[in-house]
C-alpha cells in the first residue's frame, strides 16, 4: 500500500484538478443577478402567486352573486293532457331566467371575508418571495466564504505535506522519534478533512443555487465585491416596532382574525331577511295543448314575469350553533394574532442582541488570529536564529491556521445575522437594490 502522505497527495491533486476544471467553465455571477434569476425561476414563488390568484378568483366568485345569472334553455317535449312542468318550468320552445342578490347582509360579510383572505394570500406570496431572497443571499455568501477559504486551505495542506516529508527525513537521520511522524500525519489529515469539507460545501451550495436559478452548478462562481456592505445594527434602535409593522406573519395573523370576524358576523346575519331579483321569459308552443286548458283567447305564446323574492328566516337551531362556533374561531384568531406579535418581538430582540454578540465574537477571533500570526512570525525568526525548533514552528503555524478558519466562520455568522435583521425589518430587497 502507498504511504498515507502519498494517498493524501493524490487525493489533493484530484481535488485541485476538479477545482481547476470548475473554474475553467465557471463565470463569476454577481449576487443581484443570482437573486433575480431565483425570483423568476423559483417554483415556490410561482406556487405562492398561483395561490394568490386562486384566492382572488374566490373573492370574485362571492362578490359576483350581486350580478344577474342568465340561463337560456328550452323545455321542448310531448304533452299528453295538462302540460305539466319540466324541472320546474312549463314546456316551452325558449326559456330564459335571470336571478341575482339585491340585499343579503350575510353575503356582504362573506364578500368582505373573501377579500380579506385574498389580501392574506398576497402577503403570504410576498413572504415567500422574501424567504427565497434570504435563502439565495445566504447560500451565495456562504459559497463565497468557502471559495475564498479553499485557496488558503490548499496552502495549509501543501505546508503540512512538506512538514510530514521533513519529519520523515529527520526520523531517518535519527533526529526525531517515530511519534513525530504520527503527529505530522495527524496534522496533514486534519487539514485534508477541512479541505474536503470546503469542497463538499462548495458542491452542495452550487447545486442549491442551481436549483434556485436554473444555472448549471459548474458555471456558478461568486463575486465578493457584488455583495453590498451590510448596515450596522444599532442596539438602541427600536427594531421591534419596525418588525411588527412590516412582519408578514403579523399581517397574515391580523388579516386572518379580521376574516374570521367577518365570517362570524355573516353566520349570525344568515338569519336576516334577504331580497333577490328574479325574472323569467318563456315562448310557449301551441302543440303542448295550453289552449285546451285555458279559457279561449287567454293563451299567448310570449310570457314573462319579473319581481323580487323576499325570504324571512326565523328559526334554525343548526345555523345558530354554526354562528356560535364561528364566534369562537374568531376569538381564537385574535389570541393567535397577539401570540404572533409576541413571537415576532422576541425573535427580533434576539436577532438584534445576537448581532452585538457575534460582532464581539468576530473581534475576539480577529485578535486571536493576529496574535497567532504574530506568534508564528516570532517563532520563524527564532527558528532562523536557532533558538526554536521546527516543531514549535509547525505548532505555531497550525494554531494560526485554526485561528484563521475560526475568524472566517465568525465573519459569516455575523453576516448571516445581519441579513436576518434585514429580513425582519423589511429592508432586504432595498439592500440588494430590488423593487419590492
Q: Render each residue's pLDDT in the chain as its tens digit; 436 residues.
A: 345 445 455 555 555 554 554 454 567 899 999 999 999 988 888 888 889 999 999 999 999 999 999 999 888 877 777 777 777 778 888 989 999 999 999 999 999 999 999 999 999 999 999 999 999 999 999 999 999 898 888 888 888 888 888 888 888 887 777 888 888 888 888 888 988 899 999 999 999 999 999 899 988 999 999 999 999 999 888 999 999 999 999 999 999 999 999 999 999 999 999 999 999 998 888 788 777 777 666 778 888 999 999 999 888 899 999 999 999 999 999 999 999 999 999 999 999 999 999 999 999 999 999 999 999 899 888 888 888 787 888 888 889 999 999 999 999 999 999 999 999 999 999 999 887 6
d(CA 109, CA 262): 5
Q: What pLDDT does 159 receive?
A: 85
Any idea what the Cα angle at residue 29 is, between residues 26 and 30, rounded to 5°? 160
CB 382 within 8 Å of CB 388 = yes
Strand 94-103 and strand 69-73: the pairing is antiparallel
Q: What pLDDT does 263 receive?
A: 95
Q: What pLDDT does 2 receive?
A: 44
Work out the burial of residue 18: count CB atoms within 10 Å of its CB; fewer than 13 is exposed, 13-18 middle, 19 or more buried.
Answer: middle
What does the block give as the cell for 186?
Answer: 495527524
310 vs 62, 104, 108, 316, CA distance in Å? 20, 10, 17, 17
Residues 6+ apart with CB under 8 A from 140: 31, 34, 35, 209, 222, 227
Handedness of CA 255, 258, 264, 266 (dihedral sign): negative
What does the block give as the cell for 277?
Answer: 331579483
Strand 302-311 and strand 274-283: the pairing is antiparallel
Q: What pLDDT does 76 receive?
A: 80
Q: What pLDDT does 255 receive?
A: 96
Q: What is the largest CA-CA distance in the chain?
A: 136
CB 52 within 8 Å of CB 117 = no
Amino acid at each position: 500500500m502507498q504511504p498515507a502522505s502519498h494517498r493524501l497527495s493524490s487525493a489533493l491533486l484530484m481535488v485541485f484538478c476538479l477545482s481547476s476544471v470548475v473554474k475553467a467553465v465557471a463565470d463569476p455571477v454577481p449576487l443581484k443577478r443570482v437573486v433575480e434569476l431565483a425570483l423568476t425561476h423559483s417554483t415556490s414563488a410561482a406556487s405562492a402567486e398561483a395561490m394568490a390568484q386562486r384566492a382572488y378568483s374566490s373573492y370574485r366568485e362571492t362578490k359576483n352573486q350581486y350580478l344577474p345569472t342568465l340561463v337560456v334553455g328550452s323545455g321542448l317535449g310531448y304533452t299528453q293532457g295538462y302540460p305539466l312542468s319540466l324541472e320546474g318550468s312549463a314546456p316551452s320552445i325558449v326559456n330564459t331566467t335571470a336571478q341575482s342578490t339585491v340585499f343579503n347582509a350575510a353575503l356582504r360579510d362573506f364578500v368582505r371575508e373573501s377579500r380579506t383572505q385574498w389580501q392574506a394570500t398576497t402577503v403570504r406570496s410576498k413572504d415567500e418571495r422574501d424567504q427565497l431572497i434570504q435563502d439565495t443571499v445566504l447560500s451565495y455568501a456562504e459559497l463565497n466564504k468557502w471559495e475564498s477559504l479553499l485557496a488558503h486551505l490548499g496552502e495549509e495542506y501543501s505546508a503540512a505535506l512538506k512538514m510530514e516529508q521533513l519529519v520523515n527525513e529527520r526520523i531517518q537521520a535519527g533526529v526525531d522519534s517515530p511519534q513525530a511522524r504520527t503527529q505530522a500525519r495527524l496534522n496533514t489529515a486534519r487539514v485534508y478533512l477541512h479541505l474536503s469539507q470546503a469542497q463538499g460545501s462548495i458542491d452542495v451550495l452550487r447545486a442549491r443555487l442551481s436549483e434556485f436559478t436554473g444555472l448549471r452548478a459548474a458555471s456558478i462562481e461568486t463575486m465578493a465585491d457584488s455583495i453590498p456592505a451590510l448596515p450596522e445594527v444599532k442596539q438602541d434602535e427600536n427594531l421591534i416596532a419596525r418588525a411588527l409593522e412590516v412582519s408578514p406573519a403579523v399581517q397574515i395573523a391580523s388579516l386572518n382574525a379580521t376574516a374570521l370576524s367577518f365570517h362570524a358576523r355573516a353566520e349570525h346575519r344568515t338569519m336576516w331577511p334577504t331580497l333577490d331579483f328574479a325574472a323569467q321569459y318563456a315562448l310557449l308552443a301551441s302543440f303542448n295543448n295550453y289552449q285546451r286548458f285555458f279559457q279561449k283567447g287567454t293563451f299567448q305564446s310570449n310570457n314573462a314575469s319579473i319581481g323580487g323574492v323576499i325570504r324571512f328566516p326565523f328559526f334554525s337551531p343548526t345555523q345558530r350553533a354554526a354562528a356560535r362556533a364561528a364566534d369562537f374561531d374568531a376569538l381564537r384568531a385574535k389570541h393567535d394574532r397577539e401570540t404572533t406579535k409576541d413571537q415576532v418581538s422576541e425573535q427580533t430582540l434576539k436577532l438584534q442582541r445576537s448581532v452585538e454578540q457575534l460582532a464581539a465574537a468576530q473581534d475576539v477571533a480577529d485578535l486571536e488570529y493576529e496574535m497567532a500570526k504574530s506568534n508564528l512570525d516570532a517563532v520563524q525568526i527564532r527558528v532562523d536564529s536557532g533558538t526554536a525548533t521546527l516543531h514549535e514552528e509547525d505548532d505555531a503555524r497550525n494554531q494560526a491556521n485554526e485561528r484563521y478558519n475560526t475568524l472566517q466562520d465568525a465573519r459569516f455568522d455575523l453576516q448571516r445575522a445581519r441579513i436576518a435583521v434585514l429580513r425582519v425589518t423589511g429592508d432586504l430587497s432595498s439592500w440588494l437594490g430590488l423593487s419590492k
